[in-house]
Structure formats: structure tokens, C-alpha cells
Structure 1
Amino acid sequence: MKKSQSIIILLLVFIYANVGFAQTYFPPKNTWESRTPESMGVNATTLSEAVAYAEANEYSGSKDSRVASLIGFRSEPFHEILGPMRERGGPAGVILKGGYIIAQWGDVDRVDMTHSVTKSYLSTTAGLAIDKGLIRNVMDKAGDYVWDGTFDGEHNSKVTWHTLLNQSSAWSGELFGLQDWADRPPRSGGLDDWRFKKPVEPGTVMEYNDVRVNVLAYSLLHVWRKPLPQVLKEHIMDPIGASTTWRWYGYDNSWVNVDGVKMQSVTGGGHSGGGVFISAMDHARFGLLFLNDGNWNGKQLISKEWVEKVQVSSEANQSYGYLWWLNKGRRKWKDVEDESIYYAAGFGGNFIVVDKKNDLVIVTRWLEPNKIGEMVKRVRAAM
């Protein structure tokens, strides 16, 4: 090889490593560096239009979360508020590229309910349990770990961690006074039709059901033998530099005895109250961790294998993984063809979107839920 060719190759390597493909920025605690869109190769005008779209399409439900929940879930028999709730703020969000803030709007430090985005945090505590060997295999039966009767009987004994995590467990019973059949009942048929319907075989049908998700949280509490908010704080939120303002609640009656200590079993959503209360900026740190395959500034906080597993379509629903939504199947966003995108989603238009191909994290709060696809399309158009 000629000397001139060698010099050219070395220059290309240097440019590749130091200019066009710089390492991801990981913000220290209590600070976060912003970059102009132009400096990150992003069209500032188009990005501003995407932000304006999010601001102009605020969730139409009441700002009183109790009212919004009671109206939104009015079809559920016996629905009531059992845990903490709070009035929400206005539209807010942040967009990261390469870890840097390239856009933000609204009060990004305000702590708000995040409803079913909580499920993706719950999934993370399950992944940590797998990583640490507390659960040997997601295909194990949950009843092999939780033997207090929760998984007794011919039907519930078939439930695995895998089916709990992809919401196809069809677990049948009552937890903390809530019946599984009363959560999100079908639109047709009477009360008795819902109540006495025979459960489907575990693993065959995905049903969005908070009671069954709460069974997962309850089961993970028994595996960890300490409160899940503490698990999340120690292993994830503190290492990524999250604030001290986030909280994770259960119901007023979801206290259980573990090793003689009273602990609260947290909820995986908020439509009866509880769940994760958090700021947009803490959401963004969590999203950045997943964008980087569970690695934070050189430290693997949760295995890359787990981050990959949450993105695998379940047998019962192509659009759903392990408590994360996938841009596939019937939930695929119009004109957003990238099926590698995955996201956490919650009632009222709360989203954490992970776009690996564009090195993006998009956090948007209180966006009209059916506008998220268009919002993401507009952000990607600015790349």
C-alpha cells in the first residue's frame, strides 16, 4: 500500500471516530447539555414545526386526573380510585439526539402521573431479576416462585413470566379487591357475560389488563423481597442520574407482608390511581438508557439481551413486546415505516419513543394519543 493511501485511511478513521460518529453524551446528574439542531445535522425549522404540532394537540381530557380517569374508564363496573392521583400539567416534552437536548417544550421538570408508561418501568425490574438470576427463565411458571395461592388451579398454574410480561397471561382472579374480568370489559354483552366468560388459554390472546399487570408487580415483589421502587432506584434511576422527585405508588390497600415487613405492591398503571409519577427529563434519561442497549456511560445497568427481548413481538400481538409497544402490526404508525422503533405509552398521551436508527429519544406528555404517529413522523422528517 502506498504511503499516501495509508495517510488517507488514517484520516478517514480519525474523522469517523471523532467527527461524524461521536460517542453518545450521557448527562451528569442535575445537568444536561443542549445542542442546536443544526450542529447535530437536524433541520431546525422542521423540528420546530414538530414541537409546535405537539403543543397544539394537547390531550382533550380533563386536567383533573380523577375526572379524566373516571370518564375514560366509565365502562368498567365498580371502577373507583384506589391510589394517589394529581392534576396534570400542560403539554411538555424533550427530544434527544446523541444524548443531547435538541428541543424541549413545556414544564419538563414537572412531576406528573404517567399511567401505563409505568409498565415499561415494571418490565425493567423483571429484566433485572432475570439478569441477576432471581428468575431463571421467562418461560418458567410464575407459580414456581410465588406459592401463596396466586397461581393455584388448573388455569392459573399455566401462567409464565413470559405471558405476564406480554399481557397474554389470561390470569383469572381477584387482587386487592379488583377482579380481572372487570378491567376493560368487551364493548358488547352484559355484566354476566363478562363475569362468567371462560378464560382463554394463557399465551394465546393479548389483553390490556391492569389487574394482571398488578399480579406481575406483586409476583416480582415476592421475587425481589423488597419494594420495586427501591429496586428501580438502586439499579437504574440513581445510576442514570435521575432526580429525587419521581415516585412509584400502589393502591391504598396494596400493602403486603414480605418477610415480616409491610411493603406496598405497586401498580403497573394509573387508571385506578398510583403508578409512576415522574418528570419528562427523568423519562428522557430512562429512554436514553434503552437507546444505548442498557449501557450508561460504559456501565451495563441492564443487559443488552433484555433490551432486545422487550422489542420482540409476542405470539399473541405483533405490536407488543415485554410491556413496550412496537411500531409493527395494527399499531404501526402511518407513514412511519421503521419497525425498529419501540415506545412506552400511557393514558392521556404520555410517550417515550426510542428511535435507534436516528439516535433519537422523544418524550412527549399530554399529547392527544392518536397524534403520536404524526408527531414522530414530523420529528424524523427533520433528520
Structure 2
Amino acid sequence: MPLASSSKGVASVAIGRAITLGYFGLDDPLGKFFPQADAEHAGLTVRQVLNQTTGLRFTWAADIAGIATDEVLQALRTPPAYTPGTTFQYAQAVLALLPKIVEITTGLDFQDFVQRELMGPLGIDRDHWVWLRDRSGNTAVNGGLAMRADDLARLGLLLLHEGRWGDAQLIDPDYLRQARQPTEANGGYGFLFWLNAGASYKTATVPTAKVFDHPMFPGAPRDLYAFVGALGQFNVVIPSRDMVIVRLGVPGGIDTANVQTSLAAESNPDNKEFVRRVVAAVTDVPGEPVDDPYRYGDTFGPIIGGLDDLAFWVDPEHTAEILFGVGPYAPSNCNVLSCNGKLLPQDIFTAMLDSTAQIVTALLGLGHGPR
């Protein structure tokens, strides 16, 4: 099942594995790995990429344009909009820097590293997951992973057990402790995990971010944290309840008067109520105070409420720079027709070959079934 943005949570665990093995650190600057970066980008840290506070300018159109070119090159040329560490933005393309850092420091393709160091030790076969790439071969950690529900639950159990699997400590517990800490920029977000820790949380950008003045999952324990993907792809970990909840699929219904809230999984009250009911079904521990997720009436408003929203969605100037390789923030050797010395048809063929091979391998492995 495609995980959408729950892929980000899996990526965070993989980064935790690389850090545990000593390949790099949370506060290492990007300039350590990308010597071509200018001063503004070189000073950003791995931590800021993980908690989405790089401050780099984000729009959906520009980030999607990066998929058609090279997300790593785009991220290193994206202009700053905020002081690093001060503002949460649910960005996409900048996350491509994370798997690239793993590749630079380990000498392995990111997906090979993930299988060898994370999935394999958990007993997850390579034919149980598919991870797509962008045009230039960068793994799409922002949303390109598909895997089985039972395998996703294994990742949840790894987190529940503080990074330990059997006799092996795969993830340093200190990494997970920090990954679950909210920032001043967002009380509901850690290292690509959504958190129930904050008294409020800032949402994804659909089309603009909102701050809702209540915990993300009302009526659920505050130590809850989760991978969250569009339409309701969840891997929820609740240490105080010794509980992992996996939910994959589409929404049970769409509120036509509040479409964005229904589609943005972290804000859909149906998902919150689902988690609340599962938690409430555990009766051998003291329950949480009853809270109705529907009473808050969270809403994003119309998808395009005016010219400002339209400009944000389209972002014509920055998007054109990326696609055509012109302007101060466009990589000089990359545009939609030719990137990194390769023409568009070559890259499309390579990407299709890679994704097809993964999908066929996964389909051939379907007979293995859930364990």
C-alpha cells in the first residue's frame, strides 16, 4: 500500500540508523556533505532538515518541479524565506538531502542501506517494499514508499521498544528521544514524526498551514507519535499503552464542505476518533480524559481562497526557474530537458525501469503473505 507522507517517518528511522552507526550527526552542517553549497545552505543542519525548520522557501509547485529535475540540486539552490530553526514548513524537496547524505557517508545507495541496516534486521524482505525515485535517481523519501501493513507494524514495534529488535540495538534511544521532542516552531512535529505532545500543532500546507489550538489527537495519550500520510496512512506508536496502531487505506468518507481537512490525514477528525476509540478500548490501565475530536471544528477553508492562494500554488517565477534552468536559484546544469548530462527521455526510461523492477519483484513476492 502506498504510504504517502508516512514515507517520511520511515526515512527518519533510517536516518536514525545511520546516525547510530556513526556515519554523521544531527548537528552536522550540510556543508560537510555538500561542499558546493553556498554559505546560507551550508550552515543548515541535519536536525533542521528533519524537523522541517530549514527556513528555505517552500511552495508545492516548485517542489514538484524538483521531481522533474533534481531535488537535491533544487534544495541547495532554494532561496531562504525564514531564519533557520524558527519556522515550520511542511516541505518536500529539501528532504531529498537526507538519503543523499546517507549515500555520501556510507557509499551505498540509500535503498540498499535501508534493506541491509533496517528492513533486513526486522525480517522485512526486499520484495515487500517499493520506494520510487525522482528523475535524477534520488529516493523519494517525501512520499514514494509502499509497503505492507504488517511490515510497517514491525517498524512501529522497533520504535515502541526504543530502537531494540531482539538482541540488537538498531536505533540509539537518544535519537528517538530527540525525534519525539516538539520544537518551538511546531508543538506537533519532531523528526518527520507527528506528535501529540504539544498543546497546539501546525498543520501541513494545504494550501496554507493552520495552527490548531489543541493536541493533534484529542483524547489520546500525549506520548503518542506517528508516521502520517495523506488519506489516512498511519503508523501510531503509544509507549504508555504499549501499543502500535497501523491504518492504511482511504478515508471512510469525505466531508464535501471541508475537503482539505478530510484529505490531510493529520487533521481529519475521523482519524483522530479512530485512534481515540482504539486507545479507549484498553481498559486495564487508567483511561484518558474523554475528548471529542469533532468538537473543535478544524477547517482549512477553500483550496484557493483568492489570488494569494493561487500564487502560492502556481509559484510561476520560482517554478519556471527550476524547470528551465534560468535565474539565480536554478542549477546551471539542470533543467526539465537535460539534467546532470542526461536528456529527459533517458531519465524517464531509467526511472520507469527502476520502479517497474521493484513493483514486479513485489508482485512476485505477494505469495509470501503476511507473517
Question: What is the TM-score when the length of structure 1 is the normalising length?
Answer: 0.58
Aligned counterparts of 1:198 and 1:320: Cα–Cα separation in 2: 21
1:206–1:317 contact (8 Å) kept in structure 2: yes
What is aligned with 1:67? none
What is aligned with 2:150? 281
Aligned counterparts of 2:80 and 2:176: Cα–Cα separation in 1: 34
2:34 to 119, 130, 146: 146
Unaligned runs of 5+ residues in structure 2 are: 202-214, 252-264, 283-371
Letter in 2 for 1:117: S
Query: Where do residues 123-138 of structure 1 align in structure 2 (5 Å cutoff)?
Result: 123-135=12-24, 137-138=25-26
Cα gap change, 1:178 to 1:226, in 2 (>3 Å): closer
What is aligned with 1:121? 10
What is aligned with 2:116? 234
Q: Quick check: 1:382 aligned with 2:281?
A: yes
Query: Where do residues 265-304 of structure 1 align in structure 2 (5 Å cutoff)?
Result: 265-270=138-143, 275-304=144-173
Q: CA deviation at 1:336?
A: 2.0
Structure with a larger share of its residues in strand: 1
Q: Where in structure 1 do 4 or more consecutive aligned residues deviate above 6 Å?
A: none
What is aligned with 1:160? 45
Aligned counterparts of 2:71 and 2:121: Cα–Cα separation in 1: 37
| CA RMSD of superposed structures (Å) | 2.6
Residue 128 of structure 2 aligns to a residue whose secondary structure is coil
Aligned counterparts of 1:140 and 1:379: Cα–Cα separation in 2: 40
Deviation digits for residues 184-214 of structure 1 (CA, Å, limit 9, x no counterpart) = xxxxxxxxxxxx9861111111111111112
Letter in 2 for 1:159: L
Deviation digits for residues 32-67 of structure 1 (CA, Å, limit 9, x no counterpart) = xxxxxxxxxxxxxxxxxxxxxxxxxxxxxxxxxxxx
Residue 230 of structure 1 aligns to a residue whose secondary structure is helix
1:311–1:324 contact (8 Å) kept in structure 2: yes
What is aligned with 1:201? 83
Residue 146 of structure 1 aligns to a residue whose secondary structure is coil
Residue 314 of structure 1 aligns to a residue whose secondary structure is coil
What is aligned with 1:310? 179
Unaligned runs of 5+ residues in structure 1 are: 1-111, 184-195, 256-264
Query: Where do residues 249-264 of structure 1 align in structure 2 (5 Å cutoff)?
Result: 249-251=132-134, 253-255=135-137
Letter in 2 for 1:281: D
Between structure 1 and structure 2, the one with the greater Rg is 1
Aligned counterparts of 1:380 and 1:344: Cα–Cα separation in 2: 17
1:158–1:202 contact (8 Å) kept in structure 2: no
Aligned counterparts of 1:146 and 1:124: Cα–Cα separation in 2: 22
Q: Structure 1 residues 364-373 or 338-347, which shifts more? A: 364-373
Letter in 1 for 2:98: L
What is aligned with 1:362? 245
Cα gap change, 1:375 to 1:337, in 2 (>3 Å): closer
Residue 189 of structure 2 aligns to a residue whose secondary structure is coil
1:254–1:266 contact (8 Å) kept in structure 2: no
2:232 to 349, 355, 371: 349
Residue 131 of structure 2 aligns to a residue whose secondary structure is strand
2:195–2:216 contact (8 Å) kept in structure 1: no
What is aligned with 2:206? none
Deviation digits for residues 214-271 of structure 1 (CA, Å, limit 9, x no counterpart) = 22222332222211111111112111112432122212x223xxxxxxxxx201223x
Percent identity, aligned pairs only, is: 27
Q: CA deviation at 1:116?
A: 1.0
Q: Quick check: 1:216 aligned with 2:88?
A: no
1:311–1:322 contact (8 Å) kept in structure 2: yes
Q: CA deviation at 1:284?
A: 0.7
- For this pair of structures, how many residues does the alignment match? 242
What is aligned with 1:25? none
Aligned counterparts of 2:219 and 2:42: Cα–Cα separation in 1: 40
Residue 239 of structure 1 aligns to a residue whose secondary structure is helix
Aligned counterparts of 1:348 and 1:247: Cα–Cα separation in 2: 19
Aligned counterparts of 2:83 and 2:242: Cα–Cα separation in 1: 39
2:14–2:118 contact (8 Å) kept in structure 1: no
Aligned counterparts of 2:217 and 2:152: Cα–Cα separation in 1: 25
Aligned counterparts of 2:164 and 2:47: Cα–Cα separation in 1: 24
Q: CA deviation at 1:308?
A: 1.4
Aligned counterparts of 2:107 and 2:71: Cα–Cα separation in 1: 25
Letter in 1 for 2:276: K
Aligned counterparts of 1:223 and 1:171: Cα–Cα separation in 2: 24
Letter in 1 for 2:159: F
Question: What is the TM-score when the length of structure 2 is the normalising length?
Answer: 0.60
Q: Quick check: 1:247 aligned with 2:146?
A: no
1:229–1:247 contact (8 Å) kept in structure 2: no
Aligned counterparts of 1:284 and 1:337: Cα–Cα separation in 2: 19
Aligned counterparts of 2:183 and 2:171: Cα–Cα separation in 1: 21
